[in-house]
Amino acid sequence: MNEHYDNENVAAERILIAVDGPAASGKGTIARALASHFKLPHMDTGMLYRAVALNLWRWGGDPSSEFEALRGCDVAAVDPADAELRSEAVSSIASRISAYPSVRAALLDRQRQFAGQPGGAVLDGRDIGTVVAPEADAKLFVTAAAEVRAQRRVRELLERGLPAHYEDVLTDIRARDERDTNRQISPLAQAHDADLLDTSGLDIDQAIAEAIRLVERRLAARLSTQQT
């Protein structure tokens, strides 16, 4: 089978790509690169939860209260360029409130609307291929060893001029993994038809190249099936 997928085909049909994975695995960078490569709109669904968390944090809401977390779901007023969205405090709150069924339900419709655009889209998160867009044409599950992800997050924080300690970050990442994989609603999991991409030993360019290869292989297989 020819694994090459002509990128010119994208303009003529709807392409939906789902990218899932744990924190600091590189899924966001990969999803943005895929969106650029295939000329598709991109949504970082994690930013929706961060926006809710930021709302909650700014008006002193209690992250342990599902009711108060749900009140924070009006994210229209949040500036996507707000630096606080990527702060560790907001990240921690987002991880906690994302386990609430009412919060996930409140944000699910807007994710599905984005995925349902006529030309398709690229979405990244933790339950795109399993819940938000199980019909996606190509699915990736991007991961890396917890230690590698912690090192990446420390570098990211230090580059932004924020304090960061490896052991603290590693503990936080492991705690997030535990919450994400064991929550009752939409747990983090690799879809049965998703390609696994472990970025532990890859640099950014290598990871992106492999992601494009895997997606093009899936699209080529779909095209071949349609032609037979």
- pLDDT tens digits along 13-68: 789 999 999 999 999 999 999 999 999 999 999 999 999 999 999 889 999 999 99
User: Domain coordinates of the chain in residue numbers?
Assistant: 7-227
Q: For residues 200-207, give the mean pLDDT.
A: 96
How many Å from the N-terminal Cα to the C-terminal Cα in the chain? 12
Dihedral over alpha carbons 155, 152, 185, 115 (to 10 degrees): 90
pLDDT in tens, 68-85: 999 888 775 677 778 888
**In terms of CATH, what superfamily is 7-227?**
P-loop containing nucleotide triphosphate hydrolases (3.40.50.300)
Cα–Cα distance for residue pair 117/20, rounded to 1 Å: 19
Q: Which two tokens stand for residue 13?
A: 């049909």
Q: Which two tokens stand for residue 64?
A: 């342990």
Strand partners, 18: 123, 139
- Taking only the tens place, the pLDDT of each residue in 110-134 is 999 999 999 999 999 999 999 999 9
Burial class (CB within 10 angstroms; exposed 0-12, middle 13-18, buried 19+) of 228 = exposed
Counting other chains too, the contacts that 76-83 makes at CB distance below 8 Å and 24 or more residues apart are 78/51, 78/54, 80/47, 80/51, 82/54
> What local confidence, expressed as pLDDT, does residue 2 receive?
42
State the pLDDT at residue 89.
85
Total-model pTM: 0.89
